[in-house]
Amino acid sequence: MHSFDLIRDMGHEQVVLCNDSNVGLRAIIAIHNTHLGPALGGSRMWTYESEDAALVDALRLSKGMTYKAAVSGLNLGGGKTVIMGDPEKDKSEGLFRALGRFIEGLNGRYITAEDVGTCVDDMEYVFMETSNVVGVAESHGGSGDPSPFTAYGTFRGIEACVERRLPGRKLKDLTVAIQGMGHVGAHLAHRLAEAGATLCVTDINEERCREATDGLKKVTIVKPAEIFSVPCDVFSPCALGAVLNPKTAETLKCSIVAGAANNQLETMEMAEVLRKRNILYAPDYAINAGGLMNVFLELEFYSKERATRMVSRIYNTIHTICDIAEREGLSTARAADLMAERRLETVGRLKRSYLRQAPPRSRSRMPS
């Protein structure tokens, strides 16, 4: 694989290979774009089939973070770390502290957080070596579990989608089908139930599904394979990626797809398929940015109230994306990309003019 060609084609600024044989650390830190601010993205630990597969994953995920931060109005860039190793067997204090020292060496250009295969406890070790880590425990001034905020943002995104696609209808008159009753899905189910929605839910873990919906009214539990064909108003993927593929896109019986799962579209063409079926798709990285917003505030001054207000604005972001899509005749997925690219260009351009002193630390668009 021609790594430099790949990095150039995907527009990355910097890729760092980290090795510490004593602790068995082999990691790649990919910094995609820092035009808006420091690159932020989690540290993923995974048993990659090859070094090339790890590099491709780091490049793909870090680029995704650039778009997510940009569309969400955050002054952050996109980055990601992938650690090659088995999260069940290869974790140690030494490994995460070594990673922390590599991150510290980047002098604030990259900030990490937990991700697939890592957890808050691992980040505590990273935190011993660098302050460029977010999502640490609340006892250390961190913001704790981001899932309730991701769920709240998804809820606000669903509200915006309903206004666009089903004007005049209220959640209490609608049915929402949720795939995945994990951290985000369960919180979302409770919010929707409070708003009076009828729910149809599923999870491959039946017990989790029952526990998550215990005490909720107007809930039906269905088998995992049935969730795509359930007649509903909103289908909310909150489990896996690539759930919107040629088969499922034709099966769906809904007006809106709006959920928290990452990378829902198997390919970008799926966005067009949904558009042609008149199904409004809320771009995943825009609607599920609540968790990122929550950790972002750790870099400024964290409070749950501020985080809630910021996350609430996902409603506005979804409306803006729909405006662009309608005005320019695009799918909402393409409109979200365009919105992110335009902000990167506009704000990136501002930084070309000379200022004698460093400007004050960029703040998010939300007033405090």
Q: Are 84 and 46 spatial neighbours (Cβ–Cβ below 8 Å)?
A: yes
**Contacts (Cβ under 8 Å, ≥6 apart) of 300:** 361, 363, 364, 368
User: Does residue 184 belong to the site contacting ligand NAD (CB under 6 A)?
Assistant: yes
User: Does residue 239 belong to the site contacting ligand NAD (CB under 6 A)?
Assistant: yes
Q: Which is nearer to ligand NAD, 92 or 262 (CB)?
A: 262
Q: Which is nearer to ligand NAD, 37 or 259 (CB)?
A: 259
Q: Is the backbone of residue 196 left (phi > 0), alpha (psi -120 to 50) or beta?
A: left
Q: What is the DSSP string of 86-118?
A: -TTTS--HHHHHHHHHHHHTTTTSEEB-B-TT-
User: Does residue 146 belong to the site contacting ligand NAD (CB under 6 A)?
Assistant: yes
User: Does residue 136 belong to the site contacting ligand NAD (CB under 6 A)?
Assistant: no
Task: Pick the stretch among 14-22, 50-58, 122-130, 197-205 that binds ligand NAD (CB under 6 A).
Answer: 197-205
Report the alpha-carbon distance of residue 248 to residue 256 in Å, rounded: 14
**C-beta nearest to ligand NAD: residue:** 182
Smallest separation (angstroms) from ligand NAD to the CB of 202: 5
Among 185, 295, 317, 335, binds ligand NAD (CB under 6 A): 185
Task: Pick the stretch among 135-143, 146-154, 267-275, 343-351 that binds ligand NAD (CB under 6 A).
Answer: 146-154
Smallest separation (angstroms) from ligand NAD to the CB of 357: 36
How many other CB atoms sit within 10 Å of the CB of residue 102?
22
How many other CB atoms sit within 10 Å of the CB of residue 306?
18
∠ Cα 324 245 198 (to 5°): 75
Smallest separation (angstroms) from ligand NAD to the CB of 348: 25
Smallest separation (angstroms) from ligand NAD to the CB of 184: 4
User: Does residue 117 belong to the site contacting ligand NAD (CB under 6 A)?
Assistant: no
